[in-house]
Amino acid sequence: MWNQFIIYPFTNVLLWIYNLIGHNFGIAIILFTILIRLITWPLNAQQLKSAKVMQDLQSDKDWQDIQKKYAKDKEKLAQEQMRIYKERGINPFASCLPTIIQFPIIIGLYQSITHALAATPLGLLQLGQSIYPFLNAAILIPLNSQFLWMDLSKPEGIPFPAGMSVPFLPYGFPTLAIIVAITTYLQTKLTMPPTSQNPSDQGAAMNSMMSIYMPLLLGYFALNFASGLAVYFITSNVLGIVQYASMGRVNWRNVLPGAKPQPATTGRKK
């Protein structure tokens, strides 16, 4: 089911773009990522709007009053929070619903790139079996996986000088993994929502952790897996920043080391 409805259609669109632009898989990944971002733009916009409403609520006087008043009575606090939601017409789940809807798309996009970059006989056989008849698979295969200095089907690395080797960097200097880590860090920091100055605010602590773990995690993927995925990560990160910036949600000051998370400075009032 997952393959038939997500992976195979995505792969065929990816290959269709690849065929259309003259057999450059790197450009195809970038264009496909942009296409998916455009399709999911309304969902992202909805998510950001809902998040903004929830953030504004954190600084609302009524909201803060009930937090203090019922700090020791969780049940009553929940009732009061629901009352405020109801009175103001806020759906507390509205910000996470678009995210949930987007996850299958993001994971499908990611898997379709891996699927198309078949590096083994079994991978190539499965790719061939999933290509729709409107694409001439015999002409398309093998995919041209060379993009700039990279072979997109392999982990990226610029070879070290002759005689030099680093045990944990078997593919050379990991340029792409570093760019993935930096862009992920930037996206996480720039799009981090404003949080309270309360040191016990677990949300702030979690956000801070995510800004460290996500760049490391995606940097690790880029270091060890096919570089086509790293191209996707970088494109997705840059587009995410662009989208947030266009909606006035980017917090440029958050990038500075030790900076407290700030609300958007370029923001338009929503």
Partner 1 sequence: MKRWTVIPLIVLASLLLSACTGAASSSTWPGLTADKDRVYLADGPFVYAVRLADGVKAWQYPPDKAGTSTFYSNPVLTPDGQLLVGSSGHDYGLYSLDPASGNPKWAAPFTATDHWVAPPLVVGDTIYAPNNNGSLYALKLATGQLLWSAPTTSGESLWGSPTTDGKLIFVSSLDHFVYAVDPQARKVVWKRDLGGSAPASPLLASDSTSVYVGSFASKLYALDAATGAVQWTAPLKDWVWNAPALVDKTIYTADTSGNVYSLDAPTGKNTWPEVKPDGAITASPVALSNGVAVATETGSLYGYKPDGSALWPPVTIGGKIYTTPVVVDDRIIVAPMGAQYLLYAVNAKDGSLLPWHFSNK
Closer to partner 1 at the Cβ: 21 or 125?
125
The Cα 13–Cα 20 span in angstroms is: 10
Tokens of residue 192, six digits: 């981090």
Which residue from 203, 259, 265, 266 is in contact with partner 1, where contact means CB under 8 A?
203
Compute how many other C-beta atoms are within 10 angstroms of the C-beta atom of residue 223: 22
Closer to partner 1 at the Cβ: 35 or 214?
214
Q: Does 221 bind partner 1 (CB under 8 A)?
A: yes
Beta bridge partners of 84: none
Report in angstroms how near the CB of residue 229 gets to partner 1 at its nearest: 7
Q: Does 122 bind partner 1 (CB under 8 A)?
A: yes
Peptide bond into 42 cis (omega under 30): no
* Binding flags for partner 1, 226-245, as an x/- string (CB under 8 A): x--x----------------
Strands 150-151 and 146-147: antiparallel
The residue with tokens 């061939």 is 128
The Cα 93–Cα 98 span in angstroms is: 9
Closer to partner 1 at the Cβ: 13 or 218?
218
Report in angstroms how near the CB of residue 21 gets to partner 1 at its nearest: 20
* Site residues (CB under 8 A) for partner 1, limited to 141-170: 141-142, 153-155, 170
The dihedral of CA 3, 29, 218, 194: what is its sign?
negative
How many amino acids of this chain bind partner 1 (CB under 8 A)? 48
3 state DSSP class of 269: coil
Which residue from 35, 106, 135, 178 is in contact with partner 1, where contact means CB under 8 A?
106
Of residues 149, 160, 146, 156, the one with CA closest to residue 230: 156
Report in angstroms how near the CB of residue 29 gets to partner 1 at its nearest: 15
3-state secondary structure 33-73: HHHHHHHCHHHHHHHHHHHHHHHHHHCCHHHHHHHHHCCCC
Which residue from 124, 135, 169, 182 is in contact with partner 1, where contact means CB under 8 A?
124
* Site residues (CB under 8 A) for partner 1, limited to 85-104: 92-93, 95-96, 99-100, 103
- Residues lying near partner 1 in the complex (CB under 8 A): 47, 50-51, 54-55, 92-93, 95-96, 99-100, 103, 106-107, 110-111, 114, 119-125, 128-129, 137-139, 141-142, 153-155, 170, 193, 195, 203, 206-207, 210, 214, 217, 221, 224-226, 229
